[in-house]
């Protein structure tokens, strides 16, 4: 079945460091891919998305490129801030309604 | 500001109790979802609904049921709460255009069963 695998956390970085959170997927067909973020005490929010191969999603300085050949959608940010501390979830679409989420990666950024 | 509201932020219930978790959305969305979130397991889909009075089982429906009598409200029911149902429960909604436009999540209900 469809699934998403994310790198295990927690990831701890100093402010202004480069961030990569790896995400790979297994799916039949051509799913859309998403990154969601969950700040402490809140629900998940859509961070960025991509619908087809080589599409790049971007938002708030975060980027991810849909790589069909490696079935990956890695999240990157050039310079993280303390306010980026959160849990990040990679997800893929299943059919027209459902999202399949990864297990989440906790990011802690220290000043 | 559009939103999904979950009625309780924290809930403590006893083993064997019948528990209702309520979720209301104000976006006129057709689709609503219940997930549970556990450390190391991520989000797992319990039930979803694509219309009033319609429901579909997700990946882990055992021990749960749902009710959707009105479009804006989707209730999760634990018929007889057990300690292994201690978890964070997240409700979400999505309009008919599909997941490309994103799910809108509530802030969650942290349920403890003692």
What pLDDT band is residue B2 in, cutting at 50, 70 and 90?
Answer: low
Dihedral sign from CA coordinates of B89, B90, B93, B97: negative
pLDDT at B95 > cutoff 90: no
Mark which residues 26-85 of A lie under 8 Å from B by CB. Answer: 32, 34, 36, 41-46, 49, 51
Nearest neighbour of B100 by CB, restricted to A32, A42, A45: A32
Residue B30, chain A, CB below 8 Å: the answer is no
- Find, in chain B, the residue whose alpha carbon is nearest to that of A39: B107
Q: Would you state the pLDDT for residue A97?
A: 83
**pLDDT per position as a tens digit, B6-47:** 989 999 999 999 999 999 999 899 999 999 999 889 999 999
Given a contact cutoff of 8 angstroms between Cβ atoms, the answer to whether A103 and A90 are in contact is no
Query: Considering chain B, what percentage of its residues have pLDDT values greater than 70?
Result: 98
Residue A17 has a CB neighbour count (10 Å cut-off) of 14
Residue A76 has pLDDT above 80, yes or no: yes
The answer to whether A65 touches A56, Cβ cutoff 8 Å, is yes
Which site among A1, A3, A97 would you substitute to test the B interface, given the most B Cβ atoms closer than 10 Å to its Cβ?
A: A97
Residues of A in contact with B103 (CB under 8 A): 36, 44, 46, 99
Q: Kindly list the residues from chain A whose CB atom is less than 8 angstroms away from the CB atom of residue B35.
A: 101
Task: Give the torsion through C-alpha atoms of B62, B23, B93, A98, to 10 deg.
Answer: 0
Instruction: Locate B62 and state its tokens.
Output: 């055992």
Find the Cα–Cα–Cα–Cα dihedral A36, B43, B12, B113, rounded to 10°.
-160
Do B92 and A43 lie within an 8 Å CB cutoff? yes
- Rg over alpha carbons for chain B, rounded to the nearest Å, is 13
Residue B1 in this model has a pLDDT that exceeds 70 = no
HEC-encoded secondary structure of chain A:
CCEEEECCCCEEEECCCCEEECEEEECCCCCCEEEEEECCCCCEEEEEEECCCCCEEEECCEEEECECCCCECCEEECCCCHHHCEEEEEEEEECCCEEEECCCEEEEEEC
pLDDT in tens, A19-58: 999 999 999 888 999 999 999 988 999 999 999 899 999 9
Taking an 8 Å cut-off on Cβ atoms, the answer to whether B42 and A102 are in contact is yes
């Amino acid at each position: 079945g469809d699934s998403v695998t994310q790198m295990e956390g927690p990831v701890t970085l100093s402010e202004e460091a480069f961030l990569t959170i790896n995400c790979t997927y297994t799916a039949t067909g051509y799913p859309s891919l998403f990154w969601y973020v969950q700040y402490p005490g809140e629900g998940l929010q859509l961070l960025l998305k991509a619908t087809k191969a080589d599409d790049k999603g971007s938002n708030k300085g975060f980027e991810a490129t849909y790589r069909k050949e490696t079935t990956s959608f890695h999240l990157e940010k050039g310079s993280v801030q303390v306010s980026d501390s959160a849990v990040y979830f990679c997800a893929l679409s299943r059919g027209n309604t459902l999202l399949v989420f990864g297990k989440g990666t906790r990011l802690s950024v220290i000043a | 500001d559009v939103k999904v509201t979950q009625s309780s932020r924290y809930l403590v219930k006893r083993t064997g109790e019948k528990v209702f978790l309520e979720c209301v959305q104000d976006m006129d969305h057709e689709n609503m979802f219940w997930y549970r979130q556990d450390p190391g397991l991520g989000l797992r889909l319990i039930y979803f609904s694509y219309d009033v009075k319609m429901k579909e089982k997700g990946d882990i429906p055992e021990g749960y049921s749902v009710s959707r009598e009105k479009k804006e409200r989707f209730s999760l029911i634990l018929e007889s709460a057990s300690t292994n149902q201690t978890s964070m429960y997240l409700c979400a909604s999505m309009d008919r255009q599909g997941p490309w436009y994103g799910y809108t999540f509530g802030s969650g209900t942290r349920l403890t069963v003692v």
